[in-house]
Amino acid sequence: MLEVRDLMVFYENALAVNDLSLEVRQGEVVGVFGSNSAGKTTLLNTVAGLTLHLQQRERRKGGMRITLGGAIRLDGEEIGGLSPRARVERGVVLCRERHPVFRDNTVEENLTLGAYLRPSGELKRGLESVYELFPPLVALRKRKAGMLSGGEKEMVAIGTALMARPRLLLMDEPLLGLSPLMQAEVVRGARAIARRGVTILISEQYARPILPIIDRGYVIENGALVVSGTGAELLDNPEVKSAYFGV
Amino acid sequence: MGGLLASTLVYGLVNSVVLLLTSLGFSLTFGLSGVANFAHGGLYLLSGFLCWLLMHRVGLPFPLAAAATVLLVGLLGAAIYRTVLMSVRGIVLSEVISTFAVGVAIVEFFRWKGFTTYDFTLPALVDGSVDILGVTVDWQRLLIVALGLALTGLLWLFTHRTMVGLALRGMSQDEYTALSVGIESDWAATLSLGLGSALAAVAGIALLPLGIISINIGYDVLLIALAVTVLGGLESTTGLILGSLIVGFAMVITGNYVGPRWSEVVYLAAIVIVLAVKPSGLLGKSKELEDRV
């Protein structure tokens, strides 16, 4: 479904993603693991088109020089030159890191915005589907999203992304800063999303909480691929095991 | 009720809504795109002269000239974003300088072309007057009050109850999350500049019939819009209304009890005091604090 080949991302002279290749097949849940500044967020932002948007913005105003290289293909189609909107239209939807919500909007307004590109007739069914997945959001639907806890915000953020009807959901560190209880809730949600047939590429610093739901994983350091394999294979690697699996 | 007190109450309210209407476009554009459109006063002035030209040089009837003016000024606002602002988007100082330059260019163009006589007036939408609490108020001013309140309500509905409005608000809060669900940032900013400019034109066409179209009103309107939005708190509709009421009544009270020439000092003083005491305005949001919660 998604094929990333020889991806390079430079911010000025800093190499954020270094000759990275990975593949996500239809229906899989694939993890990307790495420490802070390993390049996980840049990778997901680049697949979603945000890095290209930033590059164009900076070029226009003569600011930071961003260089992109390599190929990003979705179902065989090169999407590396497409706008974020065109990628969302093709089913590639990013749920950004740090539980992003539109803080002045209510929970329901946030979810509604997720369906921005969808036909209006789908809205009601989409909302019901998100509330089924995350029942605590029903009671919070009229609450300003900026006033929610981190875990609640993450549910809203994932729900908003789901409203866009993704075929490939990119989840950037959804567990960051959450309590173990909330982490379990988000992992349960991710598993349920995958069961609905959505392909998922998920990044995390520590792999252990999401190990039960991934089919395969990639470990990256300094923007480059270190090792890849199934969860069991990654666990067999002693260095990877201690650095990213916390065991 | 005493004549002066009644006059202060009635004209305080009318003046407040006049300020609200004057500032609505500036506040909307800032709230939805983060761009402080310092061409607002110039666009307001342009709407007056453009409407006058369409009536007296092209021969259009007033309603048609007014509608065409709102449309053309709105399109000009959108064009200002695409040609002037797009390349400096996100650099606040450059946004302010470039929009201010556009505003000055508009105002000074009309001065250069000799639009400085007392010949330029727009017709009132309604004639006649009515007594309220013993104070005579003309229907045009009451129409302005109704228009100001109706537009404020409609804009609230637009930004809170329509998908496009929600998208514009979303973009103003978190550009990259909005991009992630397919909202385009340049489209959103173009639309908000266009809408804000069209509102400047609506304000101009409604308010300019109260007097002659004078060149310097382009600068005065910008200062009024700044005073009201800075006082109430940028990005806050309730703050805009509150700011309009405070400045509106303060101007009338000062004019009635101190002297007419002091009333214009009020909005300038409001800017200075608010920036010194509470820069985020009365109802402005402290994002830093909110992000920490």
DSSP 8-state secondary structure symbol assigned to residue A211: G
AA letter at B116: T
What is the structure's pLDDT at B293?
31
What is the structure's pLDDT at B126?
87
Taking residues B150-163, report their average pLDDT: 92
What is the structure's pLDDT at B287?
44
Kindly give, in sequence order, each residue whose CB lies less than 8 Å from that of residue B292, ignoring residues fewer than 6 positions away.
Answer: none
What is the structure's pLDDT at B254?
92
- Residue B289, pLDDT above cutoff 70: no
- Residue B284, pLDDT above cutoff 80: no
pLDDT in tens, B233-244: 776 788 889 999
Q: Does B167 touch chain A (CB under 8 A)?
A: yes
- Name the nearest CA neighbour of B73 among B115, B45, B101: B45
- Residue A242, pLDDT above cutoff 80: no
pLDDT in tens, A73-84: 999 999 999 999
Tell me the average pLDDT of chain B.
90
Q: Does A50 touch chain B (CB under 8 A)?
A: yes
Contact A242, A38 (CB under 8 A): no
Q: Tell me the CATH number at A122.
A: 3.40.50.300
The Cα–Cα gap between A58 and A201 comes to 27
- Cβ–Cβ gap A147/B293 under 8 Å: yes
- Residue B218, pLDDT above cutoff 80: yes
Tell me the average pLDDT of chain A.
92
User: Residue B261 — pLDDT band, cuts 50, 70, 90?
Assistant: confident
* A104 chain-B contacts, CB cut-off 8 A: 169, 173, 285
Tokens describing residue A219 = 């470990």
The beta-carbon neighbor of B181 closest among A83, A105, A116 is A116
The Cα–Cα gap between A42 and A68 comes to 11
- Cβ–Cβ gap B180/A161 under 8 Å: yes
Domain span at residue A203? 2-244
Phi then psi for residue B286, to 5 deg, are: -90, 95
- Cβ–Cβ gap B180/A96 under 8 Å: yes
Torsion of the alpha carbons at B207, B31, B42 and B49, rounded to the nearest 10: -40
The beta-carbon neighbor of A57 closest among B89, B163, B170 is B89
Quote the percentage of chain B above a pLDDT of 90: 65
What is the structure's pLDDT at B262?
86
Tell me: ipTM over 0.95.
no
Taking residues B71-94, report their average pLDDT: 93
pLDDT in tens, A180-201: 999 999 999 999 999 999 999 9
Q: Does A49 touch chain B (CB under 8 A)?
A: yes
* A144 chain-B contacts, CB cut-off 8 A: none
What is the structure's pLDDT at B2?
58
User: Residue A245 — pLDDT band, cuts 50, 70, 90?
Assistant: low
Give A122-188 as a DSSP string. GHHHHHHHHHHH-THHHHTTTSBGGGS-HHHHHHHHHHHHHHT--SEEEEESTTTT--HHHHHHHHH
Burial class (CB in 10 A: 0-12, 13-18, 19+), A60: middle
Cβ under 8 Å to A: B residues 172-211: 173-174, 176-185
CA B129 to chain centre: 26
The Cα–Cα gap between B5 and B97 comes to 42
- Cβ–Cβ gap B167/A113 under 8 Å: yes
Burial class (CB in 10 A: 0-12, 13-18, 19+), B57: exposed
Strands A199-204 and A168-172: parallel
- Residue A39, pLDDT above cutoff 50: yes
pLDDT in tens, B172-211: 899 999 999 999 999 999 999 999 999 999 999 999 998 8
Provide the 3-class DSSP secondary structure of residue B11.
helix
- Residue B248, pLDDT above cutoff 70: yes
What is the structure's pLDDT at B288?
39
Q: Does A96 touch chain B (CB under 8 A)?
A: yes
pLDDT in tens, A89-137: 999 999 999 899 999 999 999 999 999 999 989 999 999 999 999 999 9
- Residue A32, pLDDT above cutoff 70: yes
How many domains does one find in chain A?
1
What is the structure's pLDDT at A132?
95
Contact B55, B214 (CB under 8 A): no
What is the structure's pLDDT at B106?
97
- Name the nearest CA neighbour of A32 among A194, A246, A217: A217
**Could you tell me the sign of the dihedral formed by the alpha carbons of B39, B44, B50, B56, in that order?**
negative
What ranges do the domains of chain B cover? 3-218
Quote the percentage of chain A above a pLDDT of 70: 98
Give B158-209 as a DSSP string. HHHHSHHHHHHHHHHH-HHHHHHTT--HHHHHHHHHHHHHHHHHHHHHHHGG
Beta strand segments in chain B, E = 129-132, 135-138
Tokens describing residue B136 = 């005579």
Provide the shortest C-alpha distance from residue A210 to chain B (in Å): 23
Cβ under 8 Å to A: B residues 212-271: none
Q: Does B288 touch chain A (CB under 8 A)?
A: no
Contact B128, B139 (CB under 8 A): yes
Provide the shortest C-alpha distance from residue B166 to chain A (in Å): 7
Contact A172, A41 (CB under 8 A): yes
Q: Does A48 touch chain B (CB under 8 A)?
A: yes
- Helices B40-56 and B3-33: crossing angle in degrees, nearest 10, is 100
- Cβ–Cβ gap B173/A147 under 8 Å: no
